[in-house]
A = this chain, B = another copy of it.
Amino acid sequence: MATIIVPENVSIHEDAENLQKACKGYIVCSLNIDLLIRWGTDEKAIINILGHRNAIQRKQIRQAYEELYQEDLIKRLESELSGDFEKAVYRWILDPFDRDAVLANVATKKVETEFPVIIELSCIYSPEELLAVRRAYQSRYKRSLEEDVAAHTTGDLRKALTTYRYDGPEINERLAKFEADILHEAIKDKIFNHEEVIRILTTRSKAQLKSSFNRYRDEHGTSITKKLLKDESNVLQKVLHAVIRCIDDPKKYYEKVLRNAIKRSGTDEDALTRVIVTRAEKDLKDLKKLYYEKNSVTLDHAVSKEIAGDYKKFLLTLLGKED
């Protein structure tokens, strides 16, 4: 379930006007005469408006703003805001698939650390959603996502980051057992560049893979992710581990990303922003619940202790904090 709180009556036109005032940074103070008082960008107003609008409304606001002021709202916000707050607002205001394309493009340039962004797309998103992201990517960058991934990677890593799955519910039990054994042999012998392992993880449907993971657990008494965790040392292993975790249980995976982002010394703002922005209209409520179960502290509380200023106010708004 989503976390953002959208009021019942929203006037797109007023939103656009108020955003322009917030960007202009002055208010008209009517005493005996009209007094124009400039006090800089009104971040609070920006958070109050955009943080309480869904994707369709945000798109309509961008369009209304363009019509009213012949100016791109996104560009205007970029010039008014800065730092992690700017980044978060920018990611939030984009169309969801376009936002994913931007996130993916950034990730292709530093795959060794940012590979989770690409794996989330290929292993958590449905093939239809992935297709929409690929289309947004092509329209924005005039290249294919896979072309850019391939240009920045080599060998097994390149293979592991490219997937083609069928989306259906059918399961072949015999195949699940057979491939669970292949996975087990590879993990046992620590052969992670095993071509068959990469083939299985990048081409089998999620339903089929889950069935293989279940077989693995039933036959070997431990989950495949637990077993893998112990041996994680190079990038390829980390990638395969993330692939398995994303397919096995996306919510558990995201909770862990949030936990690591917060617990890391220095905070991983990019990861924190990414999960909150991309999940706020999907399942962030479930992630909050899971976070509390695993950490005995609410995600809102953890976020609010970890970051500050407008960035904090904005993320808390997306997390569903009442004003």
A147 and B204 contact, CB distance less than 8 A: yes
Contacting residues of chain A (188-214) with chain B, CB-CB under 8 angstroms: 195, 199, 202-205
Is A138's beta carbon under 8 Å from chain B? yes
Nearest chain B CB to A293 CB, angstrom units: 35
Is A162's beta carbon under 8 Å from chain B? yes
Give the chain B neighbours of A150 by CB distance below 8 A: 164, 199, 202-203
Contact A138-B166, Cβ < 8 Å, known A147-B204, A195-B155: yes
Nearest chain B CB to A105 CB, angstrom units: 13
Give the chain B neighbours of A147 by CB distance below 8 A: 164-166, 203-205
CA distance A143 to B199 in the complex (A): 14
B203 and A168 contact, CB distance less than 8 A: no
Contacting residues of chain A (264-318) with chain B, CB-CB under 8 angstroms: none
Is A146's beta carbon under 8 Å from chain B? yes
Nearest chain B CB to A1 CB, angstrom units: 30
Contact A166-B154, Cβ < 8 Å, known A131-B131, A159-B159: no
Q: Mark A149-182, 1 if CB is under 8 A from B, else 0.
A: 0110011001100101111101000000000000
CA distance A204 to B158 in the complex (A): 15
Nearest B residue to A203 by beta-carbon distance? Answer: B147
A166 and B142 contact, CB distance less than 8 A: yes
Query: Chain A: how many interface residues by the 8 Å CB criterion?
Result: 27
Contact A144-B195, Cβ < 8 Å, known A131-B131, A138-B166, A138-B168: no
Nearest B residue to A204 by beta-carbon distance? Answer: B147
Nearest B residue to A154 by beta-carbon distance? Answer: B195
Instruction: With a 10 A CB-CB cut-off, give which of A131, A143, A154, A167 has the most chain B CB atoms.
Output: A143
Give the chain B neighbours of A158 by CB distance below 8 A: 195, 199
A164 and B165 contact, CB distance less than 8 A: no
A146 and B195 contact, CB distance less than 8 A: no
A170 and B146 contact, CB distance less than 8 A: no
Contact A142-B162, Cβ < 8 Å, known A150-B203, A203-B147, A204-B147: no
Give the chain B neighbours of A159 by CB distance below 8 A: 159
Contacting residues of chain A (119-156) with chain B, CB-CB under 8 angstroms: 131, 138, 142-147, 150-151, 154-155
If A147-B165, A159-B159 are given as contacts, then 5 extra A-B residue pairs at C-beta distance below 8 Å, sorted by A number, are: A144-B205, A145-B164, A147-B205, A150-B164, A150-B203
Q: Enumerate the 5 nearest inter-chain pairs by beta-carbon distance, A residue then B residue, closest first.
A: A146-B164, A147-B203, A144-B166, A142-B170, A150-B199
- 18 A-B contacts (beta carbon < 8 Å): A131-B131, A138-B166, A138-B167, A138-B168, A142-B166, A144-B166, A144-B203, A146-B164, A146-B203, A147-B165, A147-B166, A147-B203, A147-B204, A147-B205, A150-B202, A154-B195, A158-B195, A162-B164
